């Protein structure tokens, strides 16, 4: 997976091409700049259009982030003609995340036998139904994509195409990842990337709105280092020291994931004088680091 992302330019300008679809509004900046800026430009245009009325930025952030994820996975963004597909996918993901956040799910995860108790039946049914919907949506996209792929071409335009081509090259190797692996990778990217990115943007807007002095400092730095004739790109990151600090502080203060996922010790360990036996489940509390004034 990381190999494919690096081929697409992870950490380089080529990844910017996957962040958005191609457009003509910014052709003077060159192909790479046009690719990365279109999604941002589309978002800004929508905001300008609704500038004189109450504005809920969530729908714009969701669509922009969803387009980025989908363009990496399947090579296309969401526009007016297929926005309903994205909204259905987003609603399904929301239902799944809501179910997984319930205390019943945590209990069921630790004690699978609880699925046989009537109280948990509806919970299990709801989780399975929504998972099946999500699996079906991803599977149908993969199958449709498979029918369009030129397997004789060396170049891949998205992750799914690269995976399927690699799978075909290893079709006689039973240990090579199958469709379940591809499907689960797609779902992981959607589940892990959608809400975290959108919520970071929400909190960023809120914190900056609540701190006018920070707004002024950001604006002054951008005017000084970039000017007002173009949008900012990833290549400008090294010039914007104040902006980098603001983003880091937003992520710290927002504390989007106060708890990490469950882990298990593989051997006996001692942490801060506490003996923790092997095979012990533990849940790292990220917020304790985020809000520790000594760090």
Per the model's pLDDT, the better-predicted residue between 178 and 194 turns out to be 194
Q: Domain for residue 242, yes or no? A: no
Given a cut of 80, whether residue 122 has pLDDT beyond it is no
Residues 203 and 274 in one domain: no
- Euclidean distance between CA atoms 40 and 248, whole angstroms: 20
CB 21 within 8 A of CB 59: no
Q: Is the per-residue pLDDT at 214 higher than 60? A: yes
Q: Residue 34 maps to which CATH number?
A: 1.10.630.10
Cα separation, 157 vs 80, whole angstroms: 22
The answer, yes or no, to whether residue 118 has pLDDT greater than 50, is: yes
Q: pLDDT band at 1, cuts 50/70/90?
A: low
Q: How many domains does the chain have?
A: 2
Q: 65: domain range?
A: 14-210
Q: Is the pLDDT of residue 28 over 50?
A: no
**Would you say 196 and 250 are in contact if contact means Cβ atoms under 8 Å apart?**
no
| Host H or E run for residue 23 | none
pLDDT over 70 percentage in the chain: 88
218 within a domain of the structure (yes/no): no
Grade residue 11 by pLDDT with cuts at 50, 70 and 90: very low
Q: Is residue 144 part of a domain?
A: yes
Q: 43-60, pLDDT tens digit by residue?
A: 888 888 888 888 888 888
Structural Rg of the chain based on CA atoms: 22
Strands 281-282 and 274-276, sheet pairing: unpaired
Q: Give me the pLDDT at residue 25, please.
A: 31
Q: Supply the mean pLDDT for the chain.
A: 82
Residue 85's pLDDT is 93
Residue predicted with more confidence, 111 or 65: 65
Backbone φ, ψ for residue 230 (5° rounding): -150, 165
Is it the case that residue 8 has pLDDT exceeding 60? no
Is 4 inside a domain boundary? no
**274 DSSP β-pair partners:** 271
**Residue 240 covered by a domain:** no
Among 115-129, 132-146, 213-227, 237-251, whose mean pLDDT is lowest?
Answer: 115-129
Domain-located, residue 75: yes
* Rounded mean pLDDT, 160-186: 84
Q: Look at residue 2 and tell me if it is in a domain.
A: no
Name which of 11, 141, 10, 13 is nearest 75 in CA terms. Answer: 141
160 inside domain:
yes
Distance (Å, rounded) from C-alpha 194 to C-alpha 165?
26
Q: Do 107 and 35 lie in a common domain?
A: yes
Could you tell me if 75 and 205 lie in one domain? yes
List phi, psi (to 5°) of 25.
-65, -25
| pLDDT greater than 70 at residue 34 | no
- d(CA 62, CA 174) in angstroms, rounded, equals 38
Neighbours of 172 (CB within 10 A): 6
Three-class secondary structure of residue 238 per DSSP? helix
């Amino acid at each position: 997976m990381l190999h494919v992302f690096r081929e697409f330019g992870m950490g380089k300008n080529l990844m910017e091409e996957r962040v958005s679809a191609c457009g003509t509004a910014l052709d003077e900046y060159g192909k790479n700049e046009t690719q990365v800026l279109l999604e941002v430009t589309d978002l800004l245009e929508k905001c300008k259009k609704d500038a004189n009325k109450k504005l809920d930025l969530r729908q714009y952030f969701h669509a922009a982030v969803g387009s980025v994820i989908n363009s990496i996975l399947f090579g296309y963004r969401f526009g007016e003609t297929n926005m309903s597909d994205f909204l259905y996918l987003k609603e399904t993901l929301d239902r799944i995340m809501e179910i997984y956040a319930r205390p019943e799910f945590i209990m069921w995860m630790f004690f699978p036998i609880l699925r046989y108790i009537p109280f948990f039946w509806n919970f299990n049914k709801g989780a399975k139904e929504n998972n099946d919907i999500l699996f079906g949506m991803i599977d149908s996209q993969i199958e449709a994509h498979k029918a369009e792929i030129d397997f004789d071409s060396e170049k891949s335009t998205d992750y799914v195409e690269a995976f399927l081509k690699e799978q075909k090259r290893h079709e006689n190797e039973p240990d090579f990842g199958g469709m379940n692996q591809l499907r689960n990778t797609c779902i992981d990217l959607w589940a892990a990337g959608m809400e975290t990115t959108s919520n970071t943007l929400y909190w960023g807007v809120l914190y900056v709105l609540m701190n006018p002095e920070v707004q002024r400092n950001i604006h002054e730095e951008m005017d000084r280092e970039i000017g007002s004739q173009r949008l900012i790109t990833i290549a400008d990151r090294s010039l914007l020291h104040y902006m980098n600090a603001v983003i880091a502080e937003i992520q710290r203060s927002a504390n989007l994931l106060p708890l990490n996922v469950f882990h298990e010790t593989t051997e006996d360990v001692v942490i801060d004088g506490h003996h923790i036996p092997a095979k012990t489940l533990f849940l790292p509390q990220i917020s304790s680091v985020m809000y520790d004034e000594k760090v």
